[in-house]
Structure 1
């Protein structure tokens, strides 16, 4: 049987606590950034470094929860699938881009022609019949 189908639906209290702690750490980093913004003795790179550390710590804490493990699994599976992708060559990419540009120009001209014809029919011909 597939173990993924048997997983519990809700989060445990420990996971909720970890996510709350991660949120507190993240908010503390952001608040610290703005709190020390008026203090000239604290260099701006230290404030930015503090936010980066807070974000990294919050992500590390959140990574050890059930949703964090699911996300890590998803990222690992995505990376595995990305290795299977056959990317187009530069020549194929340039040719495809050229075709798309030509189609866009042709459709733009066609839409402009239709717009001009409808304007001519409605404004110049139909509205003048009423006079």
Structure 2
């Protein structure tokens, strides 16, 4: 049976919240530069407070809530991952290095063979 969730569409309110968040972040940077005569901690406090308020306002909008839901789902999925043991990781790393060495030798030999055929046999430059 299909889920029948009703989603309330509030594009104007969401746009206003996102615009407000951007304005708050911008005001934080403006305050940081306007407070150049003040102590460094005061400048940073103003910037961080404005950033925190901007993020808080942005997270109240629907896109912000979707971002939080996505992050929660991502964390759940990462917890389901079966990570390899140290021994398995070392073995796979060894296989990769061995393959890279074999491919490097193969490509070097192919290059030298083509160089010998083209320059030595066909063109006679050597």
Q: How high is the TM-score relative to the length of structure 2?
A: 0.80
Instruction: Give the CA RMSD over aligned residues.
Output: 2.4
Q: CA deviation at 1:55?
A: 2.6
1:119–1:34 Cα change, 3 Å: farther
1:61–1:94 Cα change, 3 Å: same
Q: How many residues align?
A: 124
1:2 alignment partner in structure 2? 3
1:105 alignment partner in structure 2? 101
1:16 alignment partner in structure 2? 15
Q: Runs of 5+ in structure 1 lacking a partner?
A: none
Q: CA deviation at 1:75?
A: 1.1
1:124 alignment partner in structure 2? 120
Is 1:90–2:86 an aligned residue pair? Answer: yes
Q: How high is the TM-score relative to the length of structure 1?
A: 0.78
